[in-house]
Amino acid sequence: MRDDPTQMAEQVSKVLRHLVLLLRRSSAGQPVTTQQYAVLGSLEHGPRRMTELAEEHAVQLPTMTVQINRLEYAGLVARGSDPADARVRTVELTGEGRDRLHAVRRARIARLAHDLAALSDDERDVLAAALPVLAKLGIDRTTQ
Amino acid sequence: MRDDPTQMAEQVSKVLRHLVLLLRRSSAGQPVTTQQYAVLGSLEHGPRRMTELAEEHAVQLPTMTVQINRLEYAGLVARGSDPADARVRTVELTGEGRDRLHAVRRARIARLAHDLAALSDDERDVLAAALPVLAKLGIDRTTQ
DNA sequence: CCCGGAATATTAGCCAGGCTAAGTTAGTTG
DNA sequence: CAACTAACTTAGCCTGGCTAATATTCCGGG
């Protein structure tokens, strides 16, 4: 298949659609939406500024403003200021935000681990080998 | 890694997030949204009823109604009736809908093929081997 | 010193795409 | 034939995107 990129692309496309449906089914009705969870994850290692968050999540600044507003209202993050530049707002996790992040992460990892446990050793090997390749896919698109 | 499902799940989780971001970046500003494209794809092999479409896309019936309304307004699908049961509405592609589906598909496949072409032969082999495994992931979740 | 432009966020207003609850119409069954 | 069930649609709400239009604040040149 590797010699017919078009055919392979069709397979990849189907698999992507499958994964998207999987994610949709598994994230319905969770205590934190996938977007909120992703943003909380960005804050794990310290405060970030709004522009950073927006870029990292491939989103416009106003979109991130609204996200952070909701998270702040929910008590999961707090806004701060940069003493060196009064224009920038920083965002950081509250204690509750950190707790929630870890709880949701545990649940997601556990579910994934459960799914992975249903595979054979060989299948897990194959999958593990492919992860770096998947991570590499499309990285040059981000610079366009 | 295969012997530590939790660690592997973390890796998979990261890769999934990467793929989601990829999809978001690549689908921004397309002539057809990914949802619309997916629905058109379901109609490729003939008319379907609303309930079928909703189930297939893991969505409630009212959500599918709205989707089909938009596609119908855009002239890409047409509603019909089941002569055997006046309650059911059928949906099928119009000529323009079929053209649009094929055009969008070509574009998506081409972009994916381009990305795949940037990989080495070995990497493509590894990825090709993993596709069936990925397709298998989580299929038992749908029955819960 | 200060004035104009650039950078950082926010607000306002729009749209897509989810959901539930309630309503309509048509089949099914006791 | 009355009551229930099934298939959709409508209405109303929420999240999460976007652009355009404001503040604010910083910075560099005259």
Residues of B in Cβ contact (< 8 Å) with A44: none
Does A81 have pLDDT greater than 60? yes
A138 versus B47: the higher-pLDDT residue is: B47
Q: What is the pLDDT of residues A26-50, one digit of tens each?
A: 887 788 899 999 999 999 999 999 9
Evaluate if residue B62 carries a pLDDT over 50.
yes
Residue A74 pLDDT grade (very low, low, confident, very high; cuts 50, 70, 90): very high
- pLDDT, residue B80, reads 97
Strand partners, A77: A93
Portion 35-64 of A in contact with B at CB < 8 A: 38, 57-58
Whether the per-residue pLDDT at A133 is higher than 50: the answer is yes
- Amino acid present at A38: A
The string of DSSP codes covering A86-109 is EEEEEEEE-HHHHHHHHHHHHHHH
B143 close contact with A: CB closer than 8 A = no
- In this complex, how many residue pairs, one in chain A and one in chain B, have their CB atoms less than 8 Å apart? 153
Is A86's Cβ below 8 Å from some Cβ in B? no
Q: What is the mean pLDDT of residues B25-50?
A: 91
Is residue B109 less than 8 Å (CB to CB) from chain A?
A: yes
Q: Is the pLDDT of residue B3 over 80?
A: no
Q: How confident is the model at residue A24 (pLDDT cuts 50, 70, 90)?
A: confident
Q: Which amino acid is at A101?
A: L
Q: What is the pLDDT of chain B when averaged over all its residues?
A: 91
Identify the pLDDT of residue A2.
Answer: 61
Interface residues for strand C (CB within 7 Å) are A 28, 49-51, 61-62, 64-66, 68-69, 79, 82, 85, 87-90; B 33-36, 57-60, 62-63, 66-67, 70, 85-87
pLDDT for A138 equals 73
pLDDT tens by residue, B92-132: 999 999 999 999 999 999 989 998 999 999 999 999 999 99
Q: Is A142 on the interface with B (CB under 8 A)?
A: yes
Is the pLDDT confidence value at A107 over 60? Answer: yes
Q: What pLDDT was estimated at residue B138?
A: 74
On the question of pLDDT at A60 being above 90, the answer is yes
Reference B40, options B6, B89, B78, B3; nearest CA is B78
What is the DSSP-derived secondary structure letter of residue A33? -
Question: Please, which pLDDT band fits residue A90 given cuts at 50, 70 and 90?
Answer: very high
How far is B8 from B18, CA to CA, in rounded Å?
15
Q: What percent of chain B has pLDDT over 70?
A: 94
* Alpha carbon distance A88, A65 (integer Å): 12
Distance CA A142, CA B10 (A): 23
Handedness of CA A46, A50, A51, A57 (dihedral sign): positive
